[in-house]
Amino acid sequence: MDNQMILLNNAYATRQNYIRGVRALILYYQRLPENCTVDELKAFLVYERDERGQSASTVNLRVCGLKYYFRHVVHRLDLVVRIPNPRLSKYEVEILSIEEIKQLRRACRDMRQLLLLSLLYDTGLRVREVARLGVSDFDKHHRSIHIRNSKGQRTRVVYYGEELRLTLNRYCKARGGVPKDTLLESYKIAGHPLSNRGVQYIVRQIVKRSGIKKRVSPHTFRHSFAVHYLNAGGSLKQLQFLLGHKYITTTLLYLKHVKPEEGKRISVLDVALSSRVK
């Protein structure tokens, strides 16, 4: 199953989540999924939700993994169509204010933590993208970062500002020079990149010290970047590219959090005929 997903260029996280769901079912019944009845499949999903306390989104991943297995691995379409997907509860994403961003920066204990937060917020990168950053991904002349083979095997370029440039310089000085390859090294293994869990752990500790009561994860900085970028006058289409969204409809979800500048009057006719307006 994993080899097939690799050949289809499925994202690493997707592969892991789908395989985890299929493995959980095999361990639960001690037999292959295709040897289970539909009622047994449903009972397993109920067990995952009610007994193990898995969220609707996690159970949905279990369903997607099983459907992928039945559709592409063992070709049991009869089982695919008879497994229901749970209804996902809608929830509001947390958006940090400018003051909360500053508060979190003040709670950083060293330059590595400050650099991590600055990268997450100033670029809107995903956890895995930040953890994998290497020195060779940076172009200091254009203040850009090359994100290679990210979600969906897409490659893109993001940009950073003056404050992040200064933080990068201070980080390198604190380390005694520019890192050879990995930008953010693991605390435990020298020379190895920071893991996804390592990024999440550092953010949790910073949030705890800051006293902020919101549910803040590394992905919260990505949401905050998107909303603040649009509030600052950024283009929706450019934001789609910076975030690496395949579809503009995903980017459009941020519009409900945007607060346009009040009191600014714009005449589109005057703009259109600006050559006449003196």
Is the entire prediction scored with pTM above 0.85? no
Query: Is 263 contained in some domain?
Result: no
Examine the fold and report which residue of 22, 45, 80 is the final residue of a domain before the chain moves on. 80
Query: Is 266 contained in some domain?
Result: no
241 neighbors 156 (Cβ within 8 angstroms): yes
Q: Which residues are catalytic?
A: 126, 151, 219, 222, 245, 254
231 and 122 share one domain: yes
Supply the pLDDT for residue 277.
44
94 neighbors 214 (Cβ within 8 angstroms): yes
CA dist 131 and 164 (Å) reads 17
Domain of 216 in residue numbering reads as: 98-257
107 and 197 share one domain: yes
56 and 184 share one domain: no
CA dist 48 and 4 (Å) reads 26
The torsion angles phi and psi of 256, rounded to 5 degrees, stand at: -70, -15
| CATH code of the domain containing 150 | 1.10.443.10
Residue with tokens 């509001």: 92
- pLDDT 10s per residue in the chain (278 long)? 888 888 777 777 888 889 999 999 999 999 999 999 999 999 999 999 888 888 788 888 999 999 999 999 999 988 888 888 776 555 567 899 999 999 999 999 999 999 999 999 999 999 999 999 999 999 999 999 999 888 777 899 999 999 999 999 999 999 888 888 889 988 777 778 899 999 999 999 999 999 999 999 999 999 999 999 999 989 999 999 999 998 898 899 899 898 876 666 777 767 777 755 44
Total domain count, the chain: 2
CA dist 72 and 137 (Å) reads 36
147 neighbors 140 (Cβ within 8 angstroms): no
